Amino acid sequence: MTGPTVEQAITRVHHEEWARVVAGLARRFGDLDVAEEATAEAFVAAAERWPREGVPSNPGGWLATTATRKGIDRLRRESQRDAKHQAARIVYDDTPPEPTGPVEDDRLRLVFTCCHPALAMEARVALTLRLLGGLTVPEIARAFLVQETTMARRITRAKAKIKAAHIPYRVPWADDIRERLAGVLAVVYLVFNEGYLAGEGDDPLRSDLTDEAIRLGRLLRALLPDDGEVAGLLALMLLTDARRLARVSRTGELVTLDEQDRGAWDRTLIAEGKALVRERLEAVAAGGDPPGRYQLQAAINAVHTDAPSARDTDWSTIVALYGRMVLLDPSPIVRLNRAVAVAEVDGPGVGLAEIDRLGEVLDGYHAFHAARADLLRRLGRGGESRAAYDRAIGLAGNPAERAYLTRRRDQLAG
């Protein structure tokens, strides 16, 4: 009876229940190591027993019970020398999660613990993928192109810091939550971007990472349904991911937005993303907080998906939205994106003049040279365009992007 159905059930339950089981155990035992390892053991037990005994009627409950038992066994084994200490640990917190709404959800505490600002960004990403996403250490190592031992060490060190420095397993206080949530969203978006346009390596797309980021985004949305930026980030990821299939050609070349086959865009993801954008527009119109950067980026992507063809894109709205983003975040990369949109409205000359003002800070950034190359080409300045493409190709880490830039360069006349 080891049919694909049991295997599929385990995969599904792993997706749905992993974070909940780890988070519940973390609360009960006050120890992330115990929580994670006991949960992993429970899934191993499920993989062994469910094909023989069938999938239990309440798989999540079965896993939580099994994992708790494994956790207690583990603590017993570990603390033989100190019975009193062990007893204290096991009764650490046996209360069921308080039914006071999603903000008390164990998984939310786990998110804020994994993304604590006292941890290095790379450690936050790794911990989040491990403890909330349930990815194995080798999977995370592969995704970020580091040695397995390096990744294992990174996770171990982060968990040791959480323990030794007493990083609390708690949702932050109300006045901190907004600030801390920004860090959580940054982690999720980083995972997404690494999957959507991998900075290094041979795979232009890593759908395992984009899928995982969207899953984390949906989880955050379920836990914090009233937060505009949570909705904005999920919408942004959905609308971006909807274009995934149209984004790389059969020959492995990046296809830019204006050349994409819009029929290949995923309409279901677009509908879901646009519904979130609409919800946020209504909330802002009803006097809610002004939109943050993820909501604005989602809105920009919604404008793109609204256009039946690239020609029909409402570029003035996009320029206006980027204008609002510049006010929130005047970073050179946001200004670069705005300048590219300005070129569509006011012509390549105006866009190029804006871009050239960013040269000093963005000289090491491939997208800066790629945008310049394109505008120079449209202005008929072939020699300068070629030089800019060369710079961009030299700096681009993603193979699909390099292939695209190389073709554009080689198409230049003369």
Partner 1 sequence: MPRYLLSVYGPAERTEFGTYPSQKAMLQAFADTGAFTERLQRDGHFVFADGLEPATTATTVDGQGEKSAFTDGPYLGTKEYLGGFWVIEAADLDVALALAAEGSKACRGTVEVRPFRTEESVRALLAP
Which parts of this chain interact with partner 1 (CB under 8 A)? 78, 82, 85, 116, 118, 163-168, 170, 172, 176
Give the integer Cα–Cα distance in Å for 175 and 184: 16
Beta bridge partners of 23: none
Give the integer Cα–Cα distance in Å for 54 and 303: 48
Q: At its nearest, how many Å lie between partner 1 and the CB of residue 168?
A: 4
Beta bridge partners of 248: 254
Among the listed residues 208, 144, 199, the one whose alpha carbon sits nearest the alpha carbon of residue 398: 199
Show the tokens assigned to 342: 């300005």
Show the tokens assigned to 126: 């790794």
Nearer to partner 1, 113 or 240 (CB): 113
Q: At its nearest, how many Å lie between partner 1 and the CB of residue 115?
A: 13
Nearer to partner 1, 166 or 311 (CB): 166
Give the integer Cα–Cα distance in Å for 228 and 220: 11
Residue 316 identity (one-letter amino acid): S
The 3-state DSSP composition of the chain as helix, strand, coil percent (nearest 5) reads 75, 0, 25
Nearer to partner 1, 171 or 276 (CB): 171
Name the DSSP class of 262: G
Nearer to partner 1, 44 or 118 (CB): 118
Show the tokens assigned to 265: 């865009």
Among the listed residues 220, 47, 32, 213, the one whose alpha carbon sits nearest the alpha carbon of residue 131: 32
Nearer to partner 1, 82 or 261 (CB): 82
Nearer to partner 1, 162 or 376 (CB): 162
Give the integer Cα–Cα distance in Å for 211 and 232: 17
- φ, ψ (nearest 5 deg) of residue 134: 75, 15
- φ, ψ (nearest 5 deg) of residue 226: -95, 0
Nearer to partner 1, 153 or 163 (CB): 163
* The residue to which tokens 């349930």 are assigned: 134
Nearer to partner 1, 12 or 85 (CB): 85
Local structure of 385: helix, strand or coil? helix
Q: At its nearest, how many Å lie between partner 1 and the CB of residue 75?
A: 13
Nearer to partner 1, 165 or 222 (CB): 165
Show the tokens assigned to 323: 């204008």
Q: At its nearest, how many Å lie between partner 1 and the CB of residue 241?
A: 34
Nearer to partner 1, 163 or 278 (CB): 163
* The residue to which tokens 């519940």 are assigned: 24
> Taking the mean position of all CA atoms in its chain, how far away is CA 147?
21
Give the integer Cα–Cα distance in Å for 235 and 34: 35
Q: At its nearest, how many Å lie between partner 1 and the CB of residue 116?
A: 8
Residues 6 or more apart from 189 whose CB is under 8 A from it?
Answer: 213, 233, 236, 237, 294
Give the integer Cα–Cα distance in Å for 206 and 195: 4
Name the DSSP class of 264: G
